[in-house]
Amino acid sequence: MAEQQNQNQNQVVEEDLNHLLKVRREKLAELQESGKDPFKVTKYDVTVHSSEIKENYEVWEGKEVSIAGRLMSKRVMGKASFCNVQDLKGNIQSYVARDSIGEESYKEFKKLDIGDIVGIKGTAFTTKTGEVSIHAESVELLTKSLQILPEKFHGLTNTDLRYRQRYVDLIMNPEVRDTFVKRSQIIKEIRNHLDAQGFMEVETPMLVANAGGAAARPFDTHYNALDEDVKLRISLELYLKRLIVGGLERVYEIGRVFRNEGVDTRHNPEFTLMELYQAYTDYHGMMDLVENLFREVALKVLGTAVVTYDGVEIDLSKPFERISMVDALKKYKDIDFTAIHTDEEAKALADQYHVAYEARHKKGDILSLLFEEFVEEHLIQPTFIIDHPVEISPLTKKKPSDPEYTERFELFITRREMANAYSELNDPLDQIERFKAQEALLAAGDDEANSMDEDFVNALMIGMPPTGGIGIGIDRFVMLLTDSYAIRDVLLFPTMKSLDK
């Protein structure tokens, strides 16, 4: 019985919606017949945005203003009405009186629908209740909305619909618009910070013959003109290092990379990565750089280096903790990995703690698996996990004091990896051996392993200076500074499965 009632209610709602859509089409046809087709309007002179009038009212009081935006509400009261218009920077009320705009224009105003885009010209004033408003002298319909905004019936609460129809999400949810304004500011401040330190922004290929620089499965595509199979890049690393070889001592790139992997709250198959490389420094220099970068960008965008994420205060103002992967495992799980000397001992340790591994895994792989299982969940405040095993770091310099480990770190905040950095491997003979080891893994079925890049090895043969490099996941950084739980919340158009699937 309840199910039947719900079906009946849904049918009534659908019929009401269809009627409203039909009415909007009829209004458009009427306008077009009278020679007032809004879709023939090509421009409107906007002099100010809503927030500028509100925030600097003493400047605009009594002066003529011209705004344009979407009609979000309308209250008709006989000879005078109120409406609310939303533009890029907020919204503002307008007082629309028949005597001010003319009888014919007032009739047309009363026929406007929520969602229509209008231009309003008038003077700034405050109402009796003290609300900053515009006393309209003219109202012009610039675009007729033929669709109903979702909150008319049920609100835009469906998460899947919000991601698929981001344009509606931006209209209905001011906090969503604020997130993406902040995202733009964050990227701008990253560029400002690096440019001020002498870094040069560059661009490198997205379609590559050899997708290297990370452990990830690439997307495959094909060049018709060249009749060659190519891949979408999974990293920015190998081309940027070629530029270091060429004498460009400080380079960075902010761009899309593509990894043919799962979709979850932290991963999207295409995402924004920032990588930079600096000659004549090491991973300690990269730690200093990224710590200062995170702190300064937060200060510039948010006005504070203490941010709240998921109800927890994250302090970017204090020095970030620096601890080795081995010491972190000892600190948080009391496992002394220094006592492990062979692959067999490492696997026995994994068995003891019920951590799954594959037959091909070596001692360093097991350390990484134990770290992921027992340590990551504790890394809430900014923490550099340094000195990773060589098995999982094919492009990193070995530690001179302990060649089983490398000069590498990952920055963790809120249990998430935020950055990955190395003292870059510049020994071409060592690099060849590591590529060979990666190719053996590839042959054994690891579809995330790298293959030999002959041209990159040739670049190293020419000679690359000692170099520090880092990769920062821009999306995760934006998540941190905007208190966003899922990566889809900071991507304007996240990857979604097609509805017809």
Residue 309 pLDDT exceeds 90: yes
How many structural domains comprise the chain? 2
Q: Is the pLDDT of residue 317 over 70?
A: yes
Average pLDDT over residues 486-494: 95
CATH number at residue 413: 3.30.930.10
C-alpha 366/C-alpha 391 separation (Å) is: 10
CA pair distance 124, 65, nearest whole angstrom: 7
| pLDDT digit string, tens, across residues 340-397 | 999 999 999 999 999 999 998 999 999 999 999 999 999 999 999 999 999 988 778 9
The answer, yes or no, to whether residue 153 has pLDDT greater than 50, is no
Q: Which residue range(s) make up the domain with 282? A: 172-320+381-489
Residue whose token pair is 């945005």:
49
Q: Are residues 298 and 233 in the same domain?
A: yes
Q: Is the pLDDT of residue 261 over 70?
A: yes
- Does a structural domain hold residue 352? no
* 475 belongs to a structural domain: yes
Among candidate residues 138, 140, 98, the one with its CA nearest the CA of residue 122: 138
- Is residue 410 marked as binding? yes
Q: Does a structural domain hold residue 298? A: yes
* Closest C-alpha among 253, 261, 190 to residue 471: 253
295 with 402, same domain: the answer is yes
Return the pLDDT at 90.
95
Could you tell me if 139 and 176 lie in one domain? no
Q: Does the pLDDT value for residue 158 go beyond 80?
A: no
Residues 134 and 180 in one domain: no
- Compute the average pLDDT of residues 92-98: 97
Please indicate, yes or no, whether residues 182 and 134 belong to a single structural domain of this protein.
no
Compare 214 and 317 and report the one with higher pLDDT.
Answer: 317
> In the listed set 97, 123, 143, which residue is the last one of a domain according to the structure?
143
Name, in order, each residue with C-beta under 8 angstroms of 132's C-beta and a sequence gap of 6 or more.
53, 54, 57, 92, 93, 124, 125, 126
Whether residues 139 and 177 share a domain: the answer is no
Is position 167 within any domain? no
Which pLDDT band, with edges at 50, 70 and 90, does 152 fall under? very low
The confidence score (pLDDT) of residue 488 equals 95
**Average of pLDDT values for 83-94?**
96
Q: What's the confidence (pLDDT) of residue 394? A: 79
Query: In percent, how much of the chain has pLDDT > 70?
Result: 96
Q: What is the pLDDT of residues 160-208, one digit of tens each?
A: 888 999 999 999 999 999 999 999 999 999 999 999 999 999 999 999 9
Residue-wise pLDDT for 23-40, tens only, equals: 999 999 999 999 999 999
| Mean pLDDT, residues 106-135 taken together | 97
184 and 272 co-located in one domain: yes
pLDDT tens by residue, 222-252: 999 999 999 999 999 999 999 999 999 999 9
For residue 394, is it within any domain? yes
Residue 204 lies in a domain: yes
Q: Do 130 and 212 share a structural domain?
A: no
The whole-angstrom separation of Cα 467 and Cα 246 is 13
pLDDT at 486 over 90: yes
> Which pLDDT does position 182 carry in this prediction?
98
Residue 207 and residue 94 in one domain: no
Q: Is the pLDDT of residue 154 over 50?
A: no
pLDDT at 497 over 90: no
Residue 22 has pLDDT above 80, yes or no: yes
Last residue in a domain, options 143, 160, 186? 143
DSSP state of 350: H
More confident residue, 316 or 261: 316
Tell whether 272 and 386 lie within a shared domain: yes
Q: CATH no. for residue 106?
A: 2.40.50.140
Domain membership flag for residue 83: yes
Given 97, 128, 143, the domain boundary residue is: 143
Q: 417 among the known binding-site residues?
A: yes
pLDDT band at 442 (very low <50, low <70, confident <90, very high): confident
Query: Same structural domain for residues 136 and 247?
Result: no
Average pLDDT of every residue of the chain = 93
70 CB-near residues (< 8 Å, 6+ apart): 85, 86, 87, 115, 116, 117, 118, 145, 171
The pLDDT-based confidence of 448 (bands split at 50, 70, 90) is confident
Query: What whole-number distance in Å separates Cα of residue 233 and Cα of residue 99?
Result: 63
The stretch 267-279 carries a mean pLDDT of 96
Mean pLDDT across 82-104: 96
Global pTM reads: 0.90
Measured between alpha carbons, how far is 323 from 10 in angstroms, rounded to an integer? 58
Q: Which two tokens stand for residue 60?
A: 């605009």
Instruction: Determine, yes or no, domain membership for 274.
Output: yes
Q: Do residues 83 and 96 lie in contact, with contact meaning Cβ atoms separated by under 8 Å?
A: yes
Q: Looking at the structure, do residues 137 and 195 belong to the same domain, yes or no?
A: no
Give 7's pLDDT tier (boundaries 50, 70, 90): low
